[in-house]
Amino acid sequence: MEKPLTQHIRADKRPLTLKEYEQVGGYEAVRKVLKEMDPKSVTTLVKESNLRGRGGAGFGTGMKWSFVPLNAPKPKYLVANADEMEPGTFKDRILLESTPHQLIEGMIVAAFAIQADIAYVYLRWAYKTAGHAITRAIEEAKSAGYLGKNILGSGFDLEIHLHTGTGRYMCGEETALLNSLEGKRATPRAKPPFPQVSGLFGRPTIVNNVETFCCLPHIINNGPDWFKQLSRTGDAGTKIYGVSGKVKRPGAWELPMGVTMRELIEEHAGGMQDGLKFRGALPGGASTDFLVEQHLDVKMDYTDVAAAGSRLGTGTLIILDDHTCPVGFVRNLEHFFAQESCGFCTPCREGLPWVEKILTSIDAGEGREEDLQLLNFHTKYLGPGNTFCALAPGAMEPLQSALKYFREDFERHIQDKECSYRGKEVSAVH
Amino acid sequence: MLTAAEKHEIDKAISLVPVRKAAGIEALKVVQDHRRWVSDESLRDVAAYMEMSPEELDSVATFYNMIFRRPVGRHVILLCDSISCWVMGYENIRMHLTKQLGIAYGETTADGRYTLLPNCCLGTCDCAPALMIDHDLYRNLTIDQLDEILKKYE
């Protein structure tokens, strides 16, 4: 099984030096695009590879790039979204800490395709080890002539800067991230204009996820057909999947796109902890709909997870077991979303704290019959089309699916005026 | 008054962006690195240096979780309270910490040694529960490790 993105990660996770990275074929893709290709043909190749954005939305990467006007005057910007903060998501951390040169190489390829001359890595503040690794890798790449002016004599210039974030979930949203890079509050921008035309400082800008960038050198080196055959489904490539929660071996693994949830949990994560049963999972971070037992054989790609009523999102499963309260689980999620709402649009700012309060009272045994209707109401009015960005609709995904699949738990809390899970948790912490 | 060292670091941040104001958050972080938190006086000094009004800079400062506009202790404990850590029982860690230190979220111990804050997902969910103290990450936490860990931070 091929694992292009993680094959060179050492057991101790120490990043490869430039020399070590070159010895395993590193920066070959940069040589190839700069010496043998033109920007348009790079974009065409990436389009043909069917690479879809790994940040969660799954938009076609080549398609995204193709909206950048190539003849626009400089500067043009490229941004690596490394602000990993979706609860339950820990996949980009691995790539950032252990394969920084792969990220930089991918960024050079992308920058060439859109003819960007300035790039930023927007890094989550908490990722200190990653910050050191990237700083060092940028320095090494600069001294070797992969960054700077006239890279490898091609006439193409690119500088990459590390920008460390200051902590806000909203910064993961593409346009909010750009506002943050401009030193402003990270509130989302109206689209259009799209960032490809008017992004950072009003210039054409592309924002891609870390894992997306890391796919690029391999697509350039091995071609689109190779990339497609890595997958088991129509959505190309490998994917870094993860599992957290009460399984025997939580972790993250690079696997062919389209492995099933059952394989992830049973084979890779070692199954549920003893005495616990699987009840459901968020397939791709906090802002995705629950999948339950009937979905265990769903292929974890963009298309099939969507057909099952959820989203692949970041591909990192969060497991709900049968000794953990679904109401408390969702309350925890909605607390996060309510806290992290940027406050810019009213439904999100007012609605999410309301949802959190209702869930807190149900969890505490103080719920009323009409609360379930109120929660349903919010899933509609904070849903797609009613808010400025995707934060509140994302927050409603686990709630609406919990109300569907775990309705009897909500009802029992209200009827019994208590949570029957209290004290039942098999806690990992003693 | 900003110190020469602070100004030097802020100038470096300004050199990386095309608009001076864009380095406002970086400037706040520089000051916070040196002084642990951003007082009203510090904020006014940074705003003047960045050629911004204090109100404009404060609107940014108060938006971000990691700019401290109130005093914090010598060490800041950031306890992950997001979903995977919740499932894995972070609340037991919280109860132990609040009991040991005698403080709730947002408070600082009387000796000024620790401030305890809740924090969103630290991106290490396969090793939950997790917390950070200053720049150090601790994972797969159990209660019996906590006292040893805390001892390292004077």
Chain A interface mutation, best of B55, B63, B146, highest count of A Cβ atoms under 10 Å: B63
CA dihedral A212, A150, A139, B123 (to 10 degrees): -10
Report whether CATH 3.30.1490.20 matches the domain A18-229. no
Q: Which CATH number fits domain A326-429: 3.40.50.800, 3.30.70.100, 1.25.40.10, 1.20.1440.230?
A: 1.20.1440.230
Neighbouring residues of B31: CB distance < 8 A, sequence distance ≥ 6 = B2, B6, B38, B42, B45, B46
Given an 8 Å threshold on Cβ–Cβ distance, is A180 in contact with B25?
Answer: yes
Given an 8 Å threshold on Cβ–Cβ distance, is B88 in contact with A245?
Answer: yes
Given an 8 Å threshold on Cβ–Cβ distance, is B93 in contact with A429?
Answer: yes
Q: What is the CA radius of gyration of chain A?
A: 22
Interface residue A294 vs chain B (CB under 8 A): no
pLDDT under 50 in chain B at which residues? none
Domain A238-320 sits in CATH at: 3.10.20.600
Facing A166 at nearest CB: one of B19, B25, B144: B25
Given an 8 Å threshold on Cβ–Cβ distance, is A201 in contact with B84?
Answer: no
Residues of B in contact with A94 (CB under 8 A): none
Could you state, in order of their start, the residue ranges of all structural domains in chain A?
18-229, 238-320, 326-429
> Could you give the CA distance from residue A300 to residue A232 in angstroms, rounded to a whole number?
10
Facing B126 at nearest CB: one of A182, A251, A336: A251
Domains of chain B in sequence order: 4-63 (1.10.10), 75-151 (3.40.30.10)
Interface residue A333 vs chain B (CB under 8 A): yes
> Could you give the CA distance from residue A414 to residue B89 in angstroms, rounded to a whole number?
24
Residue A425 is predicted with a pLDDT of 58
> Could you give the CA distance from residue A208 to residue A211 in angstroms, rounded to a whole number?
8
Burial B23-53 (b: 16+ CB within 10 A, else e): bbbbbbbbbbeeebbbeeebbebbbebbebe
> Could you give the CA distance from residue A313 to residue A200 in angstroms, rounded to a whole number?
25
Neighbouring residues of A293: CB distance < 8 A, sequence distance ≥ 6 = A278, A279, A280
Do A240 and A5 meet the contact criterion of CB atoms below 8 Å apart?
yes
CA distances from B56 to A14, A182, A190, A286, B62 (A): 42, 13, 21, 32, 10
Interface residue A126 vs chain B (CB under 8 A): yes
Relative to beta strand A278-282, strand A291-292 is antiparallel
Residue A430 is predicted with a pLDDT of 38
Count CB atoms within 10 A of the CB of residue A346: 11
pLDDT tens for chain A, 430 residues long, are 899 999 999 999 999 999 999 999 999 999 999 999 999 999 999 999 999 999 999 999 999 999 999 889 999 999 999 999 999 999 999 999 999 999 999 999 999 999 999 999 999 999 999 999 999 999 999 999 999 999 999 999 999 999 999 999 999 999 999 999 999 999 999 999 999 999 999 999 999 999 999 999 999 999 999 999 999 999 999 999 999 999 999 999 999 999 999 999 999 999 999 999 999 999 999 999 999 999 999 999 999 999 999 999 999 999 999 999 999 999 999 999 999 999 999 999 999 999 999 999 999 999 999 999 999 999 999 999 999 999 999 999 999 999 999 999 999 999 999 999 987 654 444 3
Token readout for A36 is: 């043998």
Q: Is the ipTM of this complex over 0.95?
A: yes
